[in-house]
Structure 1
């Protein structure tokens, strides 16, 4: 059973290679079977491994699989080793199961697209890279998967490259995430030079025994890893790429936002939580960044008119919740919310894609409206996803995972109470913007009529995800609501005893439960009651532009660099080497004058040279 672990990432990787090499020979059905089937097999293998490795009390029996020895440079000898424990098992299940549902959906969504095979090749490569990232037992192999998902995101965001705007969005995602990746690789260099290894278990053990809590080295290392996490997970101040990533096809948006790339940063911090525990300052900054991100992004989502941009800002905000949880040491709560977020956010993106597809690829919500009767099934699943995102009390998965985060914040001291307040305000904003979207699209005045029907390859993933968005909360519940501890049991071997046991006091629990209801009520009053225009007129500009981060970066970074390019268009460095070349040419021209064909001149120069050589020998 343990040897089967290598097949989980290998199957989609092999399918990606075959699709790149032989797509024209196997036809559309072959592409569909290979692209979707490989991820389905990976999901089945992942589930089989989970059944075999989960024991009593939901504890996971960890193991390693060494595939080969990678290299040896002195004492540095990393292996290509896969590691399965509770954390990597949860991530593997999320990536493969949600990835399969998205692939099945995409097989219908992209029907007839001339880049059908190229799309599935990139999607399968994306899944393989993410699986490599989460199963790696070594930070070097993790970095290979890390850069792999970055490459695939570039290819998929710019999939429809005929439109220059899509190419710009892809380049923006690639460049902004490279900023974070530079910090990450610097952190890896620091760890490798400090301990001579990048094996995650060895690193964590060495860090614990060698670095006292709060000293400079663990703090610097943690901040460098945090920089990488901020880029991949689109947190302040590197969040600007994610909204523009909506240029890709909707299944790409669902895969990036729900099951793969944006969760990589959360996973990295959770995987290296021992190091972050040695750096309290880095933990505090992590929580503060998460809180600020969830509030600013939630506010921006309030006024967006593009259905996918609303969900994009929502993703940034929800990842902020996970960073908030990491910042207060609620490791299991962060991973729990990662799981439930994968359920309801994939559902919302795929449901939005179904709307877009039947609305002639229209994404402006002000041109929709009244779709409840025309698309009743999509309305139901979108309402379920919206309720789970808004953390509707008791009946949705999102409620239980957010309560776990808020409980961890409440129990973590004065700074945690401040973050708890930010989380509650964020919950209010979340309910407000997602139900504003629901009311406008499905209950508002109808402007256009949808065409066609929603086929089974789109309907089945929506139905499965809708069920998961409801029952997924049963993985972990507060003590006041049953005290189910499946997720803490699975993750206990990674994080020790559960970082939050669900013992949130009754009053904070009730307050946090009522806030989403208040947000839904206000959304109905404003948007269902026709009072939205007054609010949007006052705040639309700044919020639509995402708090002007792009404009600030353009003025502070892009324009100064462009000025330097214009000033230095001849390149001062090249001028130095061009000068050397010109000096050599002129020296050659001068020396060539001595080549006149006259033997007397040659003999004279030989004599002069001999005299000069003798003089140097005598004088020295």
Structure 2
């Protein structure tokens, strides 16, 4: 594929955004849908064509498209340029492929929503910025995409802007991410200062040709980039925005908060591996953050009742796995898990949306149960996703998760064995809470009343409305609310589930290690990007296959234990979990309330900041200085006006007197002024 076609990949979604965002309100929904789908389908086809081209014999390792200079000032030039290497190609495949499937699903899920055109305009805008982020060949252009996906996330999370919780969730996501973005900006300032460029090629080549550069300013840059990644990829301490982002429509959760945007931080760290490899301290920090986030979020996910929040904390935990992998230098393993996670987590969110659709908006798992025969396609596809994320062989998640655990165990990083143990425990917890979701949703007695009237809040709203979904109601003559039985989703929603379910089964086979009879194709595919193997990969190539198989066996046993506990607690003896919670109410409430992190942030940061804003900025600055200055200016103007208007009295004698006085003043000035000039 010639490089000149690269610009179509981001341009087409942007065109879809412009069309639907400007005239979409006046277009029929079928045309809005067609525009949005075409704007994402063609880029997916182009990426497939690009994939075939770059896999051909003799194909270059990277394709570049450079425009005219974007910024050209003394000592700094930045081109608006795209670069596609194997890492970019893999990310583009995820963004465009999974993105198209989610767009297709959304056409059914959002079919009766108000603002249908607006929703697809925002989705296309997100695809545009995510493509820019992935294609960028410089830190600055990456930052444009980085900020753009943050904007699109804010718009989509707050799509139900009339609902306070959704509007607040959108603002929370936007503000928390700005904290991380501040670190990214500072990192770019340091890069410009010390390298004189923001181009990836220039910066990484400068590092490669100076093997003596270690630590110091490189560590400072790396840690600031890590701060940016913790915001975008929802790691401790900036993870708090992602669970609340579930207030947006379910397809938004699948696209932005599972498959694409939240992996941007992982992608950025892997892209900058040359920089991070020169800072062991920064890598250790990444490994510690990833391990802590993985087990912390898994703890919270074990006791959540909202089906989407379980998946949200699961996403945070799995992102911790990816961070952990990068921290021990196993970038290929982290990207491998990013790939498989995109398949099974998008599937899980979309299947959860199908469950919510079937129950007319219900998200509480305590009000589900017995759905496997009511919605069989949703059940079987979601089962594939549950098995994949739990790490059961031969599903996709097993190979990527075990690759991370193996690389961590064999890593020379001082935290290697510790993060392996944490990752292993997290694997068991993941198995437990995912099978908990599976049993509570699809097995046991039915806890829903399919004939119960649905609250409408005074206006007809369709059941697809996600977090605030309600059924249409009849208000004429005081008639009872319309009821709706449990029903399977339409095929426009089920087709993406089937495709993602297949990928959740076979998607990990590209990374089957040699110890299990495979060739680890993804490692070979990404080898041109990570051409200089780090210490982990060098060390693990000499490790015995027996060790790898042994660690995989231990992992499977831990996953089986997690399944066994979920089976006993929520299927065999369903009252066991509640009984245990009653025995340790303090611990249960601590975890149930998410360790009160949001409350701590509110008390320590938000409330003092608001008080400072109201008292100092609002009271002293705004109320005193700004309003006082305006009041003083007004009073001065009124005072001068009251004096001047006396001149305009309307009395001719007065005017004549003022004229004479003025003439006398002019004469005096002329006489005395000339006298002073002559002397």
CA distance in 1, matches of 2:508, 2:168: 39
177 and 614 in structure 1: CA distance in 2 versus 1, 3 angstrom threshold: farther
CA distance in 1, matches of 2:89, 2:428: 32
| 1:13 paired to 2:14 | yes
State the match for 1:63 in structure 2. Answer: 63
Q: Name the structure with the higher helix share.
A: 1
CA distance in 2, matches of 1:98, 1:609: 86
Matched residue of 1:278: which SS?
coil
585 and 303 in structure 1: CA distance in 2 versus 1, 3 angstrom threshold: closer
CA distance in 1, matches of 2:254, 2:12: 21
Matched residue of 1:494: which SS?
coil
State the match for 1:166 in structure 2. Answer: 166
| 1:3 paired to 2:4 | yes
State the match for 1:197 in structure 2. Answer: 197
State the match for 1:534 in structure 2. Answer: 579
Q: What's the CA shift string for 1:239-285, capped at 9, x where partnerless? A: 00000000111000000123221001001111111111111111101
Q: Give the length in aligned residue pairs.
A: 616
TM-score normalised over the length of structure 2: 0.85
2:619 to 570, 583, 600: 570
CA distance in 2, matches of 1:77, 1:545: 50
State the match for 2:651 in structure 1. Answer: none
Further displaced range: 461-470 or 556-565: 556-565
TM-score normalised over the length of structure 1: 0.93
Matched residue of 2:81: which SS?
strand
State the match for 1:123 in structure 2. Answer: 123
State the match for 2:48 in structure 1. Answer: 47
Structural mapping, 1:88-127, within 5 Å: 88-127=88-127
Structural mapping, 1:17-416, within 5 Å: 17-55=18-56, 61-209=61-209, 212-392=212-392, 394-413=393-412, 414-416=414-416
- Tell me the CA shift for residue 135 of structure 1: 0.6
Further displaced range: 222-231 or 490-499: 490-499
Structural mapping, 1:496-515, within 5 Å: 496=531, 500=537, 505=547, 506-515=549-558
CA distance in 2, matches of 1:148, 1:488: 31
582 and 536 in structure 1: CA distance in 2 versus 1, 3 angstrom threshold: same
Q: What's the CA shift string for 1:213-255, capped at 9, x where partnerless? A: 5432011101111111100111000000000000111000000
Q: What's the CA shift string for 1:259-312, capped at 9, x where partnerless? A: 221001001111111111111111101010000000010000000000000000
Task: Give the unaligned 5+ runs of structure 1.
Answer: none
CA distance in 2, matches of 1:476, 1:395: 11
Structural mapping, 1:401-480, within 5 Å: 401-413=400-412, 414-448=414-448, 449=450, 451-480=486-515
584 and 348 in structure 1: CA distance in 2 versus 1, 3 angstrom threshold: closer
CA distance in 1, matches of 2:365, 2:380: 18
Task: Give the unaligned 5+ runs of structure 2.
Answer: 451-484, 648-656
55 and 536 in structure 1: CA distance in 2 versus 1, 3 angstrom threshold: farther
CA distance in 2, matches of 1:269, 1:613: 79
- Superposed CA RMSD in Å reads 2.7
- Tell me the CA shift for residue 69 of structure 1: 2.4
Q: What's the CA shift string for 1:97-153, capped at 9, x where partnerless? A: 100111111010001112111111100111111011011001111111111100000
Do the aligned residues in 2 keep the contact of 1:212 with 1:278 (CA within 8 Å)? no
- Tell me the CA shift for residue 572 of structure 1: 3.5
Do the aligned residues in 2 keep the contact of 1:211 with 1:218 (CA within 8 Å)? no
Matched residue of 1:513: which SS?
helix
CA distance in 2, matches of 1:352, 1:591: 69
33 and 587 in structure 1: CA distance in 2 versus 1, 3 angstrom threshold: closer
Do the aligned residues in 1 keep the contact of 2:374 with 2:487 (CA within 8 Å)? no
Further displaced range: 360-369 or 524-533: 524-533
42 and 613 in structure 1: CA distance in 2 versus 1, 3 angstrom threshold: farther
State the match for 2:529 in structure 1. Answer: 494
Do the aligned residues in 2 keep the contact of 1:207 with 1:218 (CA within 8 Å)? no
Do the aligned residues in 1 keep the contact of 2:184 with 2:225 (CA within 8 Å)? yes
- Tell me the CA shift for residue 614 of structure 1: 11
Matched residue of 2:6: which SS?
helix
- Tell me the CA shift for residue 567 of structure 1: 2.3
316 and 611 in structure 1: CA distance in 2 versus 1, 3 angstrom threshold: farther
579 and 205 in structure 1: CA distance in 2 versus 1, 3 angstrom threshold: same
Q: What's the CA shift string for 1:442-467, capped at 9, x where partnerless? A: 01221124523322111111111111
